[in-house]
Structures are given as structure tokens and as C-alpha cells.
Amino acid sequence: MANDNRVALVSGANKGIGLEIARQLAQAGLRVVIGARDEGRARAAVDDLASQGLVAQSVRLDLDDEESIMGAAATIAAEHGRLDVLVNNAGIFDFADGPPSTASLAAVRRVIDTNFLGALAVTQAMLPLLRAAPTGRIVNLSSSLGSLAGNGDPTSSYYSQRFIGYNASKAALNMLTVQLHEELRDTPVVVNSVSPGFVKTDLTGYGTMTPEEGAKLPVHYALGGEESGRFVEPGGETPW
Ligand code: NAP
């Protein structure tokens, strides 16, 4: 295992792509903090990594609960004094979502609340800690479904996937990437939107990649490079 002193927080790291991101960052030697809204599920994830000889700690982090977000930031500040890597991974999909004409408004609200406002709240809470790191890195788990260009291009493979809530939540997350990148231009903090690919997890139950494969690109951006303000997927650059 590499020896790396960096501290990384992964939200929604108790399962799916987030758990695999946590595993791969721990394998790279980082000090990983598993963010999870349920303490039992967080403990199970820590135990899972421990069974492979990997050390991780957990913190309660519910994107829909501001108090838990502020509490997580306070815990990381007290224990580490900084945060080198923030992976905004936690997210939801709702089967009551759908095309603009028929999607359930309640579902759209839920999805945007968690996927966009939740990620924004976590980012704001962690930013002072990221600024305290030598090179803070933010990876926003976006989706190619958030590409405005793809949604309006009949030749795009994402064209027919009309989920107004989910797709808009990821387009909004991309706006966070763009604006934060510009705001932090003169700082060492970098921020990117990474689409993991089409990964079979509990999110929808569908996918062609394993969570382990889906974690690779987010981990690449979490670990290094000076690139910032990009939107990428496993095949390369994604059109905004
Ligand atoms: P997943 O297996 O369903 O995992 C989602 C994770 O997010 C779980 O740990 C879940 O925790 C957590 N979460 C949901 N709402 C939360 C909240 N309010 N507060 C804290 N944690 C919360 O899904 P996944 O496929 O790994 O998705 C991870 C990320 O990748 C998401 O942002 C998703 O949009 C994105 N993504 C996935 C795909 C894909 O093909 N799977 C494609 C593009 C982008 P609980 O266990 O407590 O529910």
C-alpha cells in the first residue's frame, strides 16, 4: 500500500460506486472518511474495508440534514484539520421521475434537493477544510444524463433518457463545478465533474459496468492532476 497522508471524504460511501471509491482511495494509502447517513451501514462499510486490511473511519453525513453536514465538517476539522479530497458521490434516482410533461413534482424536488442542494451544502461546509489542504480536490459525481448538449441531440445515446429531475440535478451539479472552478481559480483547489459510466448498482438496478470499474475515473480525478473545471466520462470529455 502506498504511503499517502491525504484525507479524503466520500459521501454516500456505504455502498455502490462510493464504497468502491473509498476502497480504491484507501488502497492508494489515503486516510478515508466514509460519509453515510446510517451509522449501521457506515460501520458495515468500515468493516468491509477492514477485512481487506484497509483502515477507514466513518462520519454521519446526510445530505438532507444540514446539522449532520456541519457535524461532519466539525469532526474532520477536529481530527485532521484539513480535507485534501472531497468526493460528492451520494445521490438518488427516483422512479417517479420522468419526462417534463408527466414527472412527479415531488420526486423532482427530492432528487434536486439531494443531488444538487445536498452536494452544494456539503461543498460549502467542507470548503474551509479544502482550502487548508496543500491541493484540495473536489470530484462531483455527475452523469452524462446531465449533459444539456446530449439531451438536445437526437444522435446522442442519452437523448431518450428523459428524467427531468435527475438530469436537471446533474446539470445543476455541473454548474456548481463550472462556477466553483472559476471562483477558486487563484487557489490550489481543483473541481471537476466526473461521470462514472453506466454502472449496475442499487440506484436503478441497471448498468453494464461494475461499481469497481465505475470508481476508476472518479478516483483518478480524486488522486491527481491539475485539471479543473472539466466534465469527463470514461470515453473522454463530455459535452456540457
Ligand atoms: P447507490 O448504489 O444507490 O448509492 C448511492 C449512495 O448515496 C448510497 O450510499 C446512499 O446511502 C447515498 N445517499 C443517498 N441519499 C443520501 C443522502 N440524503 N445523504 C447521504 N447519503 C445518501 O448509487 P450509485 O450508482 O453508487 O451512485 C453514486 C453516484 O453516482 C450518484 O451520485 C449517482 O447519481 C452517480 N451516477 C451513477 C451512475 C450509475 O450508472 N450507477 C451513472 C452516473 C452517475 P443509503 O445506502 O443510505 O441509501
pLDDT at 98: 98
Q: Report the atom number in ligand 1 closest to the C-alpha of 170.
A: 34
Q: Tell how far the Cα of 186 is from the centroid of ligand 1, in angstroms.
A: 31
Compute the C-alpha angle 121/230/187, nearest 5°: 65
Question: What b/e string do you get for 73-94 counting C-beta neighbours within 10 Å, with b at 16 or more?
Answer: bebbbeebebbbbbbbbbbbbb
Cβ–Cβ < 8 Å for 188, 136: yes
Between these two residues, 225 and 124, which has the higher pLDDT value? 124
Mutate to test the pocket of ligand 1, among 33, 48, 58, 89 (most ligand atoms within 8 A of CB): 89
Measure CA 5 to chain center: 21
pTM over 0.85? The answer is yes
The answer to whether the CB of 200 is under 6 A from ligand 1 is: no
The answer to whether the CB of 16 is under 6 A from ligand 1 is: yes
Per-residue pLDDT, averaged over 55-65, amounts to 97
Q: State what percent of residues in the chain have pLDDT above 70.
A: 99
Q: Tell how far the Cα of 10 is from the centroid of ligand 1, in angstroms.
A: 11
pLDDT at 183: 97
89-99 pLDDT tens trace: 999 999 999 99
Q: Report the atom number in ligand 1 closest to the C-alpha of 203.
A: 3
- Centre a 10 Å sphere on the Cβ of residue 175 and count the other Cβ atoms it contains: 15
Question: Which residues have C-beta within 8 Å of that of residue 213, sequence separation ≥ 6?
Answer: 197, 199
pLDDT at 32 over 80: yes
pLDDT at 3: 52
The answer to whether the CB of 37 is under 6 A from ligand 1 is: yes
pLDDT at 2 over 60: no
pLDDT at 169 over 80: yes
- The residues carrying an active-site annotation are 159
pLDDT at 1: 46
